[in-house]
């Protein structure tokens, strides 16, 4: 009789556990829930884990759909990096539960007034990739930045063209006009015509002798001399007109506001 009573009591307890709802902080849990927690000054503390990447179950042995954990680490490389936050598992990977649409992704670029690197954001100042922390260095390499970070010093950002590659610098801060930049204009002109005129030429004998007949002085040519001018041939006359310019380059800066550019590579 005693054994029968114990069996009946255990059966009743099992029946209650299977069919009843559990309420914490309430005597009347909602019938649609298996568990209802009611409190005004406390929260639910999830288990804390150090995830390594979204595609790895580590530190668990395998992915389990529906599992929730709070990750405390920034780890992994793009596109599988993880950040501190609440994650759930869909059976194949971890998914960050977040409504923060501004959460940075590896390779994001932002302008900021900060003078130093912070929270996984690195200055675009041309520094060697080899000087970055290990995780940031791997992320940089994974997005194609192998040797140096791009240098945004004294530059504006532009969209990439079909014939360009990422992170190539170009353009000039000054403009210098060359002949190819000038309009194709032919200038013509003429000089004033000169009226009929003559050129005087005096010819002297090569050898002369003279004699005096009384007080009269007489000259006599001993030989006939012919003098000519040298021909100049076809020729042109050059006219030089100075422009008065100093070849000062044209400054090519639009109106601007200076700032710092950072790229997100993770911690």
**Which pLDDT tens digit goes with each residue over 162-176?**
888 887 888 887 888
Find out whether 7 and 15 touch, Cβ atoms under 8 Å: no
**Which pLDDT tens digit goes with each residue over 186-245?**
777 666 665 665 555 555 555 555 555 555 555 555 555 566 666 655 666 677 777 777
Please report, for residues 88, 149, 156, 263, the alpha-carbon distance to residue 98 in angstroms, rounded to integers and kept in the order given.
11, 30, 32, 22
Find out whether 140 and 217 touch, Cβ atoms under 8 Å: no
**What is the predicted pLDDT for the residue at 15?**
44
Q: Where are the domains of the chain?
A: 23-103, 104-161+256-267
Kindly give the parts of the chain with pLDDT less than 70. Answer: 1-20, 99-102, 189-237
**What is the predicted pLDDT for the residue at 204?**
56
**What is the predicted pLDDT for the residue at 254?**
81
Please report, for residues 20, 34, 144, 214, the alpha-carbon distance to residue 30 in angstroms, rounded to integers and kept in the order given.
10, 8, 54, 162
The residues, ordered by sequence, that sit 6+ positions from 250 with a Cβ below 8 Å of its Cβ are 174, 175, 176, 177
**What is the predicted pLDDT for the residue at 67?**
94
Q: Is the pTM of this model over 0.75?
A: no
**What is the predicted pLDDT for the residue at 75?**
87
**What is the predicted pLDDT for the residue at 60?**
94
**What is the predicted pLDDT for the residue at 37?**
87
Beta strand ranges found along the chain (DSSP E): 22-24, 35-37, 48-49, 68-71, 85-89, 94-96, 109-112, 121-123, 174-175, 208-213, 216-221, 250-251, 260-264
């Amino acid at each position: 009789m005693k054994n029968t009573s114990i069996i009946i009591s255990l059966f009743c307890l099992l029946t209650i556990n299977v069919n009843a709802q559990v309420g914490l902080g309430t005597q009347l849990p909602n019938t649609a829930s298996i568990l209802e927690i009611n409190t005004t000054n406390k929260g639910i503390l999830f288990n804390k884990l150090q995830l390594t990447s979204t595609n790895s179950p580590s530190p668990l042995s395998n992915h389990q759909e529906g599992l929730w954990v709070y990750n405390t680490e920034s780890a992994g490389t793009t596109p599988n990096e993880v950040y501190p936050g609440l994650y759930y598992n869909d059976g194949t990977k971890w998914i960050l539960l977040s409504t923060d649409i501004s959460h940075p992704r590896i390779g994001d670029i932002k302008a900021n007034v900060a003078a130093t690197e912070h929270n996984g954001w690195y200055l675009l100042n041309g520094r060697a990739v080899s000087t970055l922390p290990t995780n940031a260095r791997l992320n940089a390499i994974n997005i194609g930045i192998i040797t140096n970070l791009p240098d945004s010093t004294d530059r504006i950002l532009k969209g990439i063209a079909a014939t360009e590659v990422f992170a190539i610098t170009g353009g000039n801060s000054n403009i210098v006009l060359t002949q190819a930049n000038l309009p194709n204009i032919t200038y013509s002109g003429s000089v004033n015509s000169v009226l009929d005129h003559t050129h005087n030429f005096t010819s002297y004998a090569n050898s002369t002798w003279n004699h005096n007949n009384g007080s009269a002085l007489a000259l006599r040519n001993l030989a006939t001399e012919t003098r000519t001018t040298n021909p100049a041939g076809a020729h042109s006359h050059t006219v030089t007109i100075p422009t008065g310019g100093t070849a000062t380059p044209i400054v090519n800066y639009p109106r601007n506001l200076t700032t710092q550019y950072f790229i997100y590579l993770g911690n």
